[in-house]
Amino acid sequence: MSGDDILDAYSRTVVAVAETVLPAVASITVRSARGGGSGSASVITDDGFLLTSAHVVDAARTAEASFSDGTTVALDVVGRDSLSDLAVLHARGSVPAPLQFGDAARLRVGQLVVALGNPLGLAGSVTAGIVSALGRSLPTQTGRVIDEVIQTDAALNPGNSGGVLADSSGRMVGVNTAVAGIGLGLAVPINATTREIITTLMTKGRVRRAWLGIAGAKITLAPELAARIGSPTGLQVAGVSPNSPAELAGIHRGDIVVELDHARVVSTTAVQKLMVEGAIDRPIEMTVWRNGALVDAIVVPRELDEN
């Protein structure tokens, strides 16, 4: 295959993705008590639900969407989840056909991806690149971390947030969420976890999470402890919030969390994954390493208040 043939194949793929995806991508304008803003959103259901980034619609209750076919429609903010940086909107009128979800878990480094959105107010913009890395972590304004973030070199600029990261088949595999630097963009993945969050936002308007009240840091364990628990890393408690479930259970600064609810803990994200709605107000066992010994405690997580 000649160089021209390869270039033509690449171009045909990007063109096909753009033709498939762009009709469902909207430029949205947001106004709230905190001022105005803009971003991107995409249609994800036949009955008018759209997906965007939570920070795009922060503090807003309504927005307006404009599509490439000239359709303009008012939107209601159904629910937002700042801990995943995802939000769901619902259109008050008819919208284009929805996109199909892909599975970010199937992505591979080096795979072609296409970013579609409305950067700097330029509606219907398309950029292409590759998956530069997988499994990145993205800190949020709440201090929590979004896991399994996709890194791409497809050019992203302000206004791309909430837009689509698509694979070569035109399936949505991510929601563009941040510009980390020149040639470096990040997207929240579409996977089993985020699809559950999206469904919960559509049906309930919010995602309930449990809270322990600890801050921690991933550390390399001493050989003795690493051999004992079967992991080279662990989570050391750096701080305990006053009157939190962790403090009431007797957890101390300096403890190394080994297990939570019978699951091995090796990082902060491991704890976050366990702090789901089902853990709220449920006594769970927590094992920590303290002064050369394993200590068991019973903690009762409370519902996390994002405010």
Identified catalytic residue from 81, 85, 153, 255: 85
Element holding 12 (H helix, E strand): helix 3-21
- Classify strands 49-52 and 72-81 as parallel, antiparallel or unpaired: unpaired
Q: Where are the beta strands (DSSP E) in 141-283?
A: 145-152, 164-166, 172-181, 184-189, 210-211, 214-220, 233-240, 256-260, 263-264
Rounded distance between C-alpha atoms, residue 275 and residue 5, angstroms: 51
Output the CA–CA distances (angstroms, integers) from residue 45 to 54, 68, 90, 186, in the order listed.
Answer: 18, 18, 10, 24
Active site residue 244: no
Decide: 243 and 256 in contact? Cβ < 8 Å. no
Q: Which residues of 74-109 are buried (b: 16+ CB within 10 A; e: fewer)?
A: ebebbbbbbbbbbbbbbbeeebbebbebbebeebee
Q: Looking at the DSSP assignment, which residues form a beta bridge with residue 115? A: 127, 165
Active site residue 55: yes
3 state SS of 68: coil
Identified catalytic residue from 27, 84, 132, 161: 161
Identified catalytic residue from 38, 40, 53, 55: 55
Decide: 264 and 273 in contact? Cβ < 8 Å. no
Rounded distance between C-alpha atoms, residue 56 and residue 107, angstroms: 26
Active site residue 252: no
Task: List CB contacts of 143: < 8 A, sequence separation 6 or more.
Answer: none
Active site (catalytic) residues: 55, 85, 161
